[in-house]
Chain A
């Protein structure tokens, strides 16, 4: 993830992709989610500036983009740690002890669920069902899934995530 703050727009490659994608829909506004994904991918979270930029790009009013960003839970509306740990606590994971996992993470990172470590490395949140119920308990970090977790595995993953 590129989180450089002086970078104000989207990359050339992403801009080209957006223009291509617009041709796939009756209304260019349909590329809004994809454009927001790109902004988050390049900047880590979706700022006011990001929303204005994307609004302009897809031809939607700013308040519309704001409404969309706040509706979908995967868009970060404030900066998050380098690694956002999203631990599923829904039923199938709960039955396989996700609660112990979450407690372990809180203790090890010395933060509560919803917080970010002071070194900005980890943000810890609870997730709804990730579609990994057959390999529960599961956690998502960025685009990656970690499954069949136990505390030892989680420790190892944390050591690897720099």
Chain B
């Protein structure tokens, strides 16, 4: 597959280079279409969000009211703080104009007059790259008033976060843009009715939006034929941990995990066996290394395998990995990042961290294994936002599939 999100063109992040390769041609094309035609095209492409939940993008756009007395907003989610995830950063660095072009097309399709790109505070270097691209795009008339003489106007603001994983959760992100603490909001109401400042708002991931110009360029039908049938398109897969060539790889959806690990990422150092794989960032269920045959990087296949695509951040662990310690570190992360609004999440993540620490220190008991599972089960489904579930899933899956690891620790 020809790379569609990260073309290997030198200096593609510069506006002249992007323009020289037909950059912003899809914005021109879009502005000549009816807004609803664009949303229909995105629907027909079967693009699903790349931010973690795989929600159909065209459907999400169609939830936005056509007519609205209040202004409408787009938030582009570049918070990228899920452990194991480092793909949006690659778009900021190598292809910011495709992100901008996609954003303006999305705004036009939904009748939106202002877009906010939310980027995690740590990414200052990448914020500077994107801000430069935004300034250039304004200067070239792709953003701002009366874009390319179409009569359509929209603004683009880069908003810097300040260190909080939870701000990647969409309602928390909107609070953060409003200058509030990043507390998730209770849903409903959903953002399409009541989002930023109480106005209709759509939130999409950076990679999702970077796909929009691609859909217009190759057409929805061709796009929908890339990769997995029910979850098509190019996808950026970040591979980290015990592999020879960690990095971000663009590929069609549906590539077998073993091919991703062994071919794209060069296999496991020392040809060691794979003990476990986290397929989609730390919030997804852990898979056993000996159960990877036939499991592919797409929503349906990973669901059938008992996990999820998440952010497509594949973390590979070789046979010598101390999985209990890894799980403790993940639990510590969620405890640290819990915003504290819901008791099951606030207390439960702390308990899980404590119990797992007992195992790490070889002080865990058999009863602790069940206690840990019960705590995880009591968090899942009982919280305002999905951080609680995200904290529970890795724990539940490791207890289910690697119980022996805990029992060995108890026996000492």
Contact = CB atoms under 8 A, between A and B. Distances in A.
B27 interface: no
A30 B164 contact: no
**Interface size, B (range):** 35 or more
B84 to A, nearest CB: 5
B84 A129 contact: yes
Interface string A90-123: 1110111000000000000000000000000000
A73 B181 CA distance: 11
B179 A58 contact: yes
Nearest to A67: B181
B240 interface: yes
A1 to B, nearest CB: 13
Contact of A128 (B159, B278, B337, B339): B337
Contacts of B330: 91
A33 B333 CA distance: 23
A80 interface: no
A75 B317 CA distance: 34
Given A131-B123, A143-B125, A94 B329 contact: yes
A95 B315 contact: yes
B95 interface: no
Contacts of A89: 329
Interface string B230-246: 00000000111110001
A125 to B, nearest CB: 11
A89 B332 CA distance: 11
Interface stretch (B114-122, B342-350, B359-367, B381-389): B114-122
A27 B179 contact: yes
Contacts, number: 139
Given A24-B114, A24-B155, A144-B125, A33 B315 contact: no
A29 interface: yes
A145 B127 CA distance: 13
A130 B122 contact: yes
Contacts of B180: 29, 68
Nearest to B166: A71
B83 A129 contact: yes
A72 B81 CA distance: 13
Nearest to A75: B162
Nearest to A33: B162
Interface in A57-90: 58, 60, 67-68, 71-75, 89-90
A18 interface: no
B248 interface: yes
Given A33-B162, A89-B329, A96-B241, A132 B114 contact: no
B160 interface: yes
A67 B182 CA distance: 10
B355 to A, nearest CB: 18
B164 A91 contact: no
B122 A134 contact: no
Given A27-B197, A92-B240, A129-B83, A134 B248 contact: yes
B208 interface: no
Nearest to A65: B179
A91 B241 contact: yes
A136 B85 CA distance: 12
B125 A145 contact: yes
Nearest to B81: A129
Interface in A15-30: 21, 24-27, 29-30
A95 to B, nearest CB: 4
B178 interface: yes
Contacts of A33: 121, 159-162, 176, 179
Given A129-B81, A133-B313, A30 B178 contact: yes
Contacts of B333: 90, 128-129
B307 interface: no
A131 B241 CA distance: 13
B336 interface: yes
Interface of B: 71, 80-86, 89, 114, 120-125, 155, 157, 159-165, 176-182, 196-197, 199, 238-242, 246-248, 278, 282, 313, 315, 317, 321, 325-326, 329-330, 333, 336-337, 339
12 contacts: A27-B178, A29-B180, A34-B159, A60-B179, A71-B339, A72-B121, A75-B162, A90-B333, A91-B84, A91-B241, A95-B242, A129-B85
Given A30-B159, A129-B85, 15 more contacts: A25-B157, A68-B181, A72-B163, A74-B121, A74-B162, A89-B329, A91-B84, A91-B282, A92-B84, A92-B241, A129-B282, A129-B333, A130-B122, A134-B246, A135-B246
Top 9 nearest A-B pairs (CB, nearest first) are A74-B163, A72-B162, A32-B179, A133-B240, A73-B163, A29-B179, A92-B240, A129-B83, A71-B181
